[in-house]
Chain A
Amino acid sequence: MLLLLLGIIILHIAALVLLFVSTIVSAWAYDGNTSSDLWSNCTTTNGGSHCDQAFTGEWIQAVQALMILSIIFSVLSLFLFFCQLFTLQKGGRFFLTGIFQILASLFVMSGAIIYTVKSTEWLSQAATYGFAYILAWVAFPLALISGLIYVILRKRE
């Protein structure tokens, strides 16, 4: 039981870290020596790096919002998990925790989908997706799985 709890906490924190990294790191897309993320476009020229504000479209703002919401919900879910761990009755399920984590996964999924579909509007054709984008997509199944485990998990002890 303890091992299972430890495992699910690690899974949750891994998903959270992935969400944080993918939201913050400026590597959603690469185009030559320009890397762009949700917040800024950075150009590296002759060893120097210059960043300016990202394209302020509606859709990229939606992606920003969804990523932040997903982080918020994931953090809330972790918090609720610890709360429920001590308050839940024996045999109860971590429904609330699971719902929050699943919502977080749905948010990151929507954000990644929007970025995939709409990035053609603000990226050139030659641009390729960066690792932060991939991390966002990896965070989605991790969060979903941990959320489902929370829902299935029954409290023992």
Chain B
Amino acid sequence: MSSVSSPVSLVLLPPAPQSEAIVIYTGWDRHALVGSEVRLYCSFFSWRWTSEDVTFSWSYRPDGSRDSISIFHYTGGMPYVDNKGPFRDRLEFIGNPRRRDGSILIRNLDYSDNGTFTCDAKNPPDIVGRPSNVRLLVYDKVPVRAGVITGAIIGSVLGLLILVVAIYYLMRFLVARRVFNLSVSKLEKGKKGKGKEGSQQRQGPVLYATLDQSSKLLKGVGSEKKKSGDSRKDKK
């Protein structure tokens, strides 16, 4: 991509390209344990494509020392790592220059690695920029920051409380629905029963009435019975 882009930029730009500022980023201060490894992140922002000539360089200044020493340099597509200094055999380049990533990995940390790491990047012709620092602190035990455990405990207990309340309401909802279904089916049954009873009750007086009037209307009884039977069928 950069091989394509650089000719384009050459075409587009005047022969003496203006250089613009480059901003270099490193992460927050890093805390690490003795013997572990730490990844020091470095990236930059510039207005141009990353060219083939992009360079990254890391230097290290131990705590209590004034001078910094260079420990890593990337140029011309090749990383050059510290092979004589304090990070001999412990430093590895894990970045991807094409993606503006100049991260390094330091293994097997020791207390003597406490210090300030400075990353500088150049993306010619953008070379004006301030190097960025990251401080490395090596501990035998990572210190607990204030409030982390407090917050964790309070959060977990309150979360548990909310969970219990939620489950309680969910169960109540489910049970309520089941009871509702049951009661609805009961009600339906009850309605049916009541309907039958009602029809019987209705039948009773009719029968009595027919019986009372049996002498007069014997035919009427038969017709009433038929009617009641029809009404039953209809209700079913």
Min Cβ gap B151→A in Å is: 8
Tally chain A residues at the interface, Cβ within 8 Å: 13
A68 to B152, CA, bound (A): 12
A-B contact count (CB 8 A): 36
A62 to B149, CA, bound (A): 7
Q: Determine if B144 and A69 form an interchain contact, defined as CB atoms under 8 angstroms apart.
A: no
Q: Determine if A53 and B146 form an interchain contact, defined as CB atoms under 8 angstroms apart.
A: yes
User: SS class of chain B's interface: helix, strand, loop or mixed?
Assistant: helix
Q: Which residue of A lies closest to B154 (CB)?
A: A65
Q: Determine if A57 and B158 form an interchain contact, defined as CB atoms under 8 angstroms apart.
A: no
Known: A56-B143, A56-B144. A61 touches B158 (CB 8 A): no
Q: Determine if B153 and A65 form an interchain contact, defined as CB atoms under 8 angstroms apart.
A: yes
Which of the residues A53, A56, A58, A69 comes within 8 Å of B154, measured between beta carbons? A69
Cβ–Cβ < 8 Å partners of A62 in chain B: 149-150, 153
Min Cβ gap B1→A in Å is: 48
Q: Determine if B144 and A68 form an interchain contact, defined as CB atoms under 8 angstroms apart.
A: no
Q: Determine if B143 and A69 form an interchain contact, defined as CB atoms under 8 angstroms apart.
A: no
Which of the residues B145, B148, B157 comes within 8 Å of A69, measured between beta carbons? B157
Q: Determine if B158 and A64 form an interchain contact, defined as CB atoms under 8 angstroms apart.
A: no
Q: Which residue of A lies closest to B152 (CB)?
A: A65
Cβ–Cβ < 8 Å partners of A143 in chain B: none
B 116-157 contacts with A by CB, 8 A:
143-154, 157
Q: Determine if B150 and A68 form an interchain contact, defined as CB atoms under 8 angstroms apart.
A: yes
Interface centre among B145, B146, B147 (most CB of A within 10 A): B146
A16 to B149, CA, bound (A): 24
Tally chain B residues at the interface, Cβ within 8 Å: 14
A 36-64 contacts with B by CB, 8 A:
53-54, 56-58, 61-62, 64
**Does A66 have its Cβ within 8 Å of any Cβ on chain B?**
yes
Cβ–Cβ < 8 Å partners of B153 in chain A: 61-62, 65-66, 69
A 62-108 contacts with B by CB, 8 A:
62, 64-66, 68-69, 72
Q: Which residue of B lies closest to A53 (CB)?
A: B146
A54 to B150, CA, bound (A): 13
Q: Which residue of A lies closest to B146 (CB)?
A: A56
Q: Determine if A58 and B158 form an interchain contact, defined as CB atoms under 8 angstroms apart.
A: no
Q: Which residue of B lies closest to A59 (CB)?
A: B149
B 148-205 contacts with A by CB, 8 A:
148-154, 157-158
Binding site for A on B (CB under 8 A): 143-154, 157-158
Binding site for B on A (CB under 8 A): 53-54, 56-58, 61-62, 64-66, 68-69, 72
State the 10 A-B residue pairs at the shortest beta-carbon distance, nearest first.
Answer: A65-B153, A61-B149, A65-B150, A61-B150, A56-B146, A64-B150, A65-B154, A69-B157, A58-B149, A68-B154
